[in-house]
Structure 1
Amino acid sequence: MIATNDIVLHIDHVHKTFAGLHALADVNLDIREGETHAIIGPNGAGKSTLLNVCVGVLPPTQGKVMFHGTELTGLKPYEINQLGVARVFQTPEIFGDLTVLENVMMAMLSHRDGAFRLKLVSRFDEQGEIGQRAIQALRERGLGEHLYHLGGALSRGDKRRLEMVIGLVQKPKLLLLDEPTAGMARADTNATIEILRQIKDSGMTIVIIEHDMHVVFSLADRITVLAGGRVIAQGVPDEIKGNPKVIEAYLGEEQV
């Protein structure tokens, strides 16, 4: 449910070229406050490139990205994160040699201080404020039994859930998810959908890139379809399902 019509993220005529190849070509997109917005399209459509431009990993060749009226173009990824944009990557990025609890405590320290050092983590008392908040966040997302397990020993589904917790404890205003169910078994996918529903119901603004149309149509308020680096359709799920261009470019292969 969309809370307001305020624009959280404004992508304005964004182009991105690599050695003359247009990965993104004149992409325009507005993300509204409180909505879950899915970006779909075939492989090579430019979806991950667009997210990389939004979080400062890649600079746009042309155009700009605005977040709550502040231009993100030219900012470093950590500066964008400090503004309230969190991203969960396609491949889980966690500290495999730290415990699940330590991973979350690290994220909380980074958000609070803007910097962290690995050697400091062991000095944090889990009975203190940071530790207790981290434990609560992990228990709420079904990871309470893994508090003292090494991050690298988790299943793929639990690693994804851990990374979502890491993103959420930073209290973002916008959560960007790059294929959060990639490679998951159906049971893990369904568990992840439930977690995302809880996040959605909290009112957080979410952008999700996803190939699994079951996930997309279970969660999305609106959908943008990319093909060949261009936007070919935007609308609510029922509009996208019935769009001939989308069926030809993508959904016909997905058997939705």
Structure 2
Amino acid sequence: MGILQVQNVNKSFGGLKALNNVNLDITEGTVHAVIGPNGAGKSTLLNVCVGRLVPDTGAVLFNGRPLTGRSPHEINQMGVARVFQTPEIFADLSLLENVVIPTLAVRDGSFTVNAWGRVDNQAEIRDRAEAILESVGLAEKRHHHSGNLSRGDKRRLELAMCLVQEPKLVLLDEPTAGMSRADTNATIDLLARMQEEHGVTKIIIEHDMHVVFSLADRVTVMAQGTPIVEGTPNEIKGDPRVQEAYLGGAHL
């Protein structure tokens, strides 16, 4: 049994069938990409997995425990983290403060300190936050204002905020959207290094095939709300069903 299982999930919005009998089994420790044309149901699937949407039928299991019906906060506390398409950071705070906030949270949803004024006295918390910033290459900017970061560095900061929670599964929604090629390549390198160092299972929704084929162990292709094929990146590249559904017959 995989770390995440999507079982016969259906979701409609009025007369639109966004997800049609979706089944997925995500192997622990892998990077699994979900690709497909606009409107294929990728983001709807992600939102079902993290509790932002409730499926009409079917279930989502994480380590054998049901996620369906739980709130996003509860799912996060279970060890599932999400990285959004647009980086979600506290723009008015420093990088260090951004990472301290999730560092304070413990698995029961409480906090290890009760006031910001006491944070600097919590050496363990500060050291943990600084170590994570070091791991994503942002340690030298830890006191900088987060709102002034480049798009690529904002993504790095958000990944640091995610990693400090020690999740077991991370869902990334187009992690390189809007980036320059240089920032995209830097993010690919960072995600690959994260995989080597932390081994966290990742599900990536991505349109950039360079990102997908650089990182993914397995790829699921969706069209019209349904997975149409799953395989290794090399298998996906040569599958005529993928070329037809994703690029209208053009080669990947």
TM-score range, shorter chain: over 0.9
**Residue 17 to residue 129, structure 1, CA distance change in 2 (3 Å):** same
**Residue 96 to residue 253, structure 1, CA distance change in 2 (3 Å):** farther
TM-superposition CA deviations, 1:32-54 (whole Å, max 9, x none): 01111000011111111111100
TM-superposition CA deviations, 1:127-150 (whole Å, max 9, x none): 611111101110111111221112
Whether contact under 8 Å (2:77, 2:107) holds in the other structure is: no
Identify the match of residue 86 of structure 2 among 71, 84, 91: 91
CA distance in structure 1 between the partners assigned to 2:97 and 2:103 by the alignment: 10
Identify the match of residue 210 of structure 1 among 206, 211, 220: 206
Q: Which runs of 4+ in 1 moved over 6 A?
A: none
Report the AA paired with residue 123 of structure 1.
R
- For the pair 1:178 / 2:173, whether they are aligned, the reply is yes
Report the AA paired with residue 223 of structure 2.
A
How far did 1:165 drift? 0.8
Q: Secondary structure at the match of 2:193?
A: helix
How far did 1:121 drift? 3.0
Paired residues for 1:213-232 under 5 Å: 213-232=209-228
CA distance in structure 1 between the partners assigned to 2:249 and 2:158 by the alignment: 30
The range that moved more, 80-89 or 113-122, is: 113-122
Whether contact under 8 Å (1:24, 1:46) holds in the other structure is: yes
CA distance in structure 1 between the partners assigned to 2:43 and 2:240 by the alignment: 24
- For the pair 1:189 / 2:176, whether they are aligned, the reply is no
Report the AA paired with residue 229 of structure 1.
G
CA distance in structure 1 between the partners assigned to 2:69 and 2:186 by the alignment: 37
CA distance in structure 1 between the partners assigned to 2:184 and 2:251 by the alignment: 18
- For the pair 1:21 / 2:12, whether they are aligned, the reply is no
Provide the TM-score with structure 2 as the length reference: 0.94
TM-superposition CA deviations, 1:20-75 (whole Å, max 9, x none): 21111110000001111000011111111111100001111111000000000000
TM-superposition CA deviations, 1:143-190 (whole Å, max 9, x none): 112211122211111111111111111001111111100010011111
- For the pair 1:233 / 2:225, whether they are aligned, the reply is no
How far did 1:254 drift? 7.6
Identify the match of residue 37 of structure 1 among 29, 32, 35: 32
How far did 1:108 drift? 1.0
Report the AA paired with residue 23 of structure 1.
A
Report the AA paired with residue 205 of structure 2.
I
Identify the match of residue 243 of structure 1 among 232, 239, 242: 239
Whether contact under 8 Å (2:219, 2:230) holds in the other structure is: yes
**Residue 21 to residue 113, structure 1, CA distance change in 2 (3 Å):** same
Q: Secondary structure at the match of 1:56?
A: coil
- The residue number in structure 1 matching 2:77 is 82
How far did 1:122 drift? 4.2
- For the pair 1:159 / 2:154, whether they are aligned, the reply is yes
Report the AA paired with residue 182 of structure 2.
A
CA distance in structure 2 between the partners assigned to 1:241 and 1:78 by the alignment: 37
| Aligned-residue RMSD, C-alpha | 1.9
**Residue 127 to residue 74, structure 1, CA distance change in 2 (3 Å):** closer
Report the AA paired with residue 192 of structure 2.
R
Provide the TM-score with structure 1 as the length reference: 0.93
Q: Secondary structure at the match of 1:125?
A: helix
Report the AA paired with residue 27 of structure 2.
R
- The residue number in structure 2 matching 1:130 is 125
Report the AA paired with residue 215 of structure 1.
V
How far did 1:252 drift? 5.3
Q: Secondary structure at the match of 1:7?
A: coil
Identify the match of residue 169 of structure 1 among 149, 160, 164: 164
The range that moved more, 37-46 or 149-158, is: 149-158
- The residue number in structure 2 matching 1:50 is 45
CA distance in structure 2 between the partners assigned to 1:118 and 1:41 by the alignment: 44
How far did 1:123 drift? 2.8
